[in-house]
Amino acid sequence: MKRGQKDSHIVISRQAIKRLPYYLKYLKKCCLDNIDCISASTIASDLKFYEVVVRKDLSLVSSVAGRPRIGFQVDNLIADIEHFLGYDNVDQAILIGAGHLGKALMSYRGFDDYGLEIVAAFDIDESVIGSEVNGKKIFHIDKLESITRRIGVCIGIIAVPADTANEVCDKLVSAGMLAIWNFAPTRLSVPENVLVQNENMAASLAILSKHLSSKRLQSPGRSIDVEFVIERGESLADPDETIQSGRLVLTSRRRGGGFVV
């Protein structure tokens, strides 16, 4: 089967898509270690995933099935995952907000490994307009629609404060963006045909802070109840489950270093 045929006919969950970059990074390390073939069970063991989940994920994206007692050809599996994720076709993106975070994203060279290239940035700050970061020019946001439509970009990255994020989002949608990567700590309102991926650093920091405060309060022989609430529609990490209605409350009693649910 040729690459490009299989992935146009399958249905894959968002959680499975999120796992694929982990497989890819792991397989590239195997390649550097001169490992030619690898089994799903070995991948599952090393990445601490359920074996049944790994087998299902790889069966969806691999063009050649794994062979009994041999497994998958590492180089073929790398190519299949990169093709499925579109890493073999560079996607161009523009960024709104050339502040500290925006400049850091523009300077990050690791995006090249994932098929993403930030080609330009936009801002309203006259002190940065016309300058370049890592070879990418910063334009006034008034030029957003004319430039993006001319070069055919469909991915927009938001790196502005929360109070202006929805206004910026509206401009991106008007300019023809079909996918938005949002680093602002707020929810965006978009049409159904536009995909938004939120990177809420404030929420992640809250989880870390709660973990640390629980550790500091913990003493030998003492347990602490930590209650996690999974809201309606929120996905569980593994396996692929979604709470369709109501609320599910998981109360974890921590002893030592781990959680027992």
Look up the CATH number of the domain holding residue 165.
3.40.50.720
Helix (H) or strand (E) holding 225: strand 224-230
The domain of 190 spans 91-199
Q: Are residues 192 and 181 in the same domain?
A: yes
Does 16 reside within a domain?
yes
The Cα–Cα gap between 80 and 4 comes to 9
How far is CA 6 from each of CA 11, 12, 81, 83, rounded to the nearest angstrom? 10, 12, 12, 11
Percentage of the chain lying above the pLDDT 90 cut: 49
- Count of domains for the chain: 3
Does 1 reside within a domain?
no
Which residue, 199, 222, 246, sits at the end of a domain? 199
Q: Which of 19-33, 203-217, 247-261 has the lowest mean pLDDT?
A: 247-261
Q: Are residues 28 and 75 in the same domain?
A: yes
Q: Sorting pLDDT into bands at 50, 70 and 90, what band is 90?
A: low
pLDDT in tens, 8-30: 557 788 889 989 999 998 998 99
Q: Are residues 99 and 190 in the same domain?
A: yes
Q: Sorting pLDDT into bands at 50, 70 and 90, what band is 113?
A: confident
Name residues whose C-beta falls within 8 Å of residue 16's C-beta, 6 or more positions apart in sequence: 53, 56, 57, 60, 240
Range 15-28 burial, b when 16+ CB lie within 10 A, else e? bbeebbeebbebbb
- What per-residue confidence (pLDDT) applies to 210? 77
CATH number (domain holding residue 39): 1.10.10.10
The Cα–Cα gap between 140 and 142 comes to 5
Q: Sorting pLDDT into bands at 50, 70 and 90, what band is 32?
A: confident
Helix 74-85 and helix 51-61, axial crossing angle in degrees, nearest 10 = 70
Q: Are residues 15 and 111 in the same domain?
A: no
Which residue, 199, 220, 246, sits at the end of a domain? 199
In the predicted structure, residue 254 carries a pLDDT above the cut 60: no
Q: Are residues 219 and 169 in the same domain?
A: no
- What per-residue confidence (pLDDT) applies to 86? 79
Cβ(210)–Cβ(226) under 8 Å? yes
Average pLDDT over residues 175-192: 93
The Cα–Cα gap between 67 and 254 comes to 42
Q: Cα 133–205–243 angle (5° rounding)?
A: 110
The Cα–Cα gap between 68 and 84 comes to 24
Q: Are residues 12 and 111 in the same domain?
A: no
The Cα–Cα gap between 228 and 230 comes to 7
Does 35 reside within a domain?
yes
In the predicted structure, residue 177 carries a pLDDT above the cut 80: yes
The DSSP call for residue 130 is T
Helix (H) or strand (E) holding 26: helix 14-32
Q: Are residues 141 and 175 in the same domain?
A: yes
| 252 DSSP β-pair partners | 226
